[in-house]
Amino acid sequence: MGSASSISTQEKKKTSSGSSLSLFFAPKWIPIIYGCVFVLRVVAVVVAHFSGEAMAAGIDPLVALWKEWGIQVLVLLSLALQVILLVTAEIRRRKDSGVLRVIVWLAYLLADTTAIYTLGHMSVTSRSPEQELVAFWATFLLLHLGGQDNITAYSIDDNRLWLRHLQSFVVQVLAAAYVLYESSIFAGGHRTMLSQATIFMFVVGVVKYGERVWALMSASSSALSGKNYNSSGSWEDMYHVAEIQLSLMHDVFYSEAELIHTWYGHCIRLTSLAVTATALRLFLGLSDKDGFSKVDLVATYVLLSGAVVLEITSVLRAMSSTWRYPLLDPISTSPCCRLPINRPLYYHFDLLIKSGELVRGAIQKVGILKRYWSDSMGQHNFIYMCSHCKDSRSSKIARWMGREDWWNTLVYTSSSVPVSLDFSELLKEQLWESVGVKKENPNHIQNSRGRAALKKRGFWHEAEHKRLPHPAKVTQELFNYMMFLLPARPYMLPDNASRQRYIELCNKVIHHLKYSSAVDLIKLIQGHGDAVNAEQTQPAVVVENLVVDMPAATTKESSVTFDRACQLGSKLISKELETPDAILDLISQVWVEMLCYTGYRCRPDSHARQLSSGGEITTVVAILMEFLKSDFLKLDKQEQVAELGSP
């Protein structure tokens, strides 16, 4: 009944939350709503102003508005998208959120599309000599196409399309060069400072855009390879190293980290900052600005200031990253740097390193930025889903549209919990069992609970709900996480783990069993398991008594899965077995073994794919499994045994 009460509590919370429409009237949305209303009013005023002038000239108001402000809006939008990418890309590696994924995806696609469209628009639109600044903006669009250091690819597939990006690079550089050639910036030798600033920004834009293509090409040839570690340390050290490795793998596949943290990568960043700041200084020193529109001047100041800020951010991120230590520390501590002739170089390196440490220390104090990855486990509760979506109006609509599976996956796999220290200890205990055991041994954790056991994941989950009225929190979270992988991350499971069979099982329970609540469903499954174990009647007869209009399309595998799940649950609650604590311990061990088995056999590209959404504990486990090949864990176990044996 403990399990039933927990389900009932969830039902009450679900009911008390009210309609989803009420979320839009929550206090946190009020400022956003007022802001949107204000923006709409401003747009309406601007449109009304131009519509009056346009109607007098016989031109469509929207066309007139676009001709007057279109380029300015697009270049500023391009800058805004770069800022959004800079912020959200840093968060997405540490947080698995569907809303965040949509924001990053939209910003990533719109950033390139906006810059490319604007360059094309500039190349075919004639401009008067007074609009030289519009041509100057083309260099900033190249810079924006270079993207931000912390996101070169949205998904792992983007790296494989590096040739397409190379083609785009060539075309857009030629387009920007054509815009500058057709402009009057270099004509007549007037406004030399503007010409110099344009050349500087064009070179920076070409270099940064080319670096992005280079990073995509490098990531496409990178691979997740195992490595043996011979360093000794505690379990906490090893787990921390695994988390850092997961973060570094994200950098390799989705950012420019591998290129940034080289001597030429740092040179590019420092040079880009210096050149961009010089371009800003040249434009500020431009004396002949009377011929420019005030709006164009403001837009140019915003673009230049934004470029400088983004370059400063890039340098500070590079200096505060853990990637910098192998490069800068040996240089700064080298004896040649301390020679009198090279002391300025030493002071500069020392200043950079100390600045990076200060920035990194400040970042580590900010909540979510403390983590190397999402540090969470998705949750999916089979009983909760079946008991709620049976009579759910939204599920019925999705069923009518033929999208029930997609809807249930979206709604009932959206929650997550942080990875607890108790889970880390449970994982440590199971890994210890394989220390010193040959990997070919069936008892080794990478072989235990083989493929046949992995297929029974659904059986164990149903059995847990019936056997453990008050399960340990960490065990419950582990159960729900393994169930979460099946509908939400099937590509991270071995090939034998059939998501289709799980869908058939869910359809059978939801649409053909008679129950009105989670408690009824648990009792129903328990009764069926008792009947099967007692052999009071044939399983098919019992199922027939429990269902309504059982379809002939139900596969034999689905029926067998259901029967075995009920049978296993009935066995676990029988008094002939051990104490509840012993059963709980047994189930916990089985699930940890399944997690290790899954992580070790997950395809490398599947691990890499999930890194773009905060990573999975499955990947951390896979890295820890690699440590079993070294003496890292063995030494820690010997130290623990020695401590226990000491008086």
User: For the segment 601-627, what is each residue's pLDDT rounded down to a tens digit?
Assistant: 888 888 989 998 888 999 999 998 887
- Give the pair of three-digit tokens for residue 398: 């999705």
What's the Cα-to-Cα distance from 276 to each of 178, 183, 364, rounded to whole Å? 22, 21, 29
Q: Closest by alpha carbon to 446, among 375, 499, 379, 494?
A: 494
pLDDT score for 469: 39
Percent over 90 (pLDDT), the chain: 22
| Helix boundaries (H) for 146-262 | 156-160, 162-182, 192-220, 235-254, 257-260
Average pLDDT, the chain: 75
Q: Closest by alpha carbon to 607, among 252, 246, 251?
A: 246
pLDDT score for 96: 84
- The answer to whether 259 touches 211, Cβ cutoff 8 Å, is yes
pLDDT of 310-334, one tens digit each?
Answer: 999 998 888 777 666 554 444 444 4
- The answer to whether 477 touches 468, Cβ cutoff 8 Å, is no
Tell whether the model's pLDDT for residue 91 goes beyond 80.
yes
Region 567-577: what's the mean pLDDT?
62
What's the Cα-to-Cα distance from 227 to each of 34, 76, 423, 622, rounded to whole Å? 54, 46, 25, 12
CA torsion, ordered 537, 540, 542, 546, to nearest 10 deg: -170
- Give the pair of three-digit tokens for residue 372: 């190397």
Q: How far is CA 638 from the centre of its chain?
A: 38
Furthest CA-CA distance within the chain: 101
Q: In three state form, how does the secondary structure of 310-334 look?
A: HHHHHHHHHHHCHHHHHHHHHHHCC
Region 525-530: what's the mean pLDDT?
74
pLDDT of 236-284, one tens digit each?
Answer: 888 888 888 888 888 889 999 888 888 888 889 999 999 999 999 999 9
Tell whether the model's pLDDT for residue 18 goes beyond 50.
no
Gap between the Cα atoms of 236 and 273, Å rounded: 39
Domain ranges for the chain:
60-220+251-370, 378-601
Tell whether the model's pLDDT for residue 113 goes beyond 90.
yes
Percent over 70 (pLDDT), the chain: 62
Of 105-109, 210-214, 354-358, 422-426, give the lowest mean pLDDT range: 354-358
pLDDT score for 134: 85
- Give the pair of three-digit tokens for residue 579: 């104490």
pLDDT of 329-366, one tens digit each?
Answer: 444 444 444 444 444 544 555 565 566 566 656 655 65
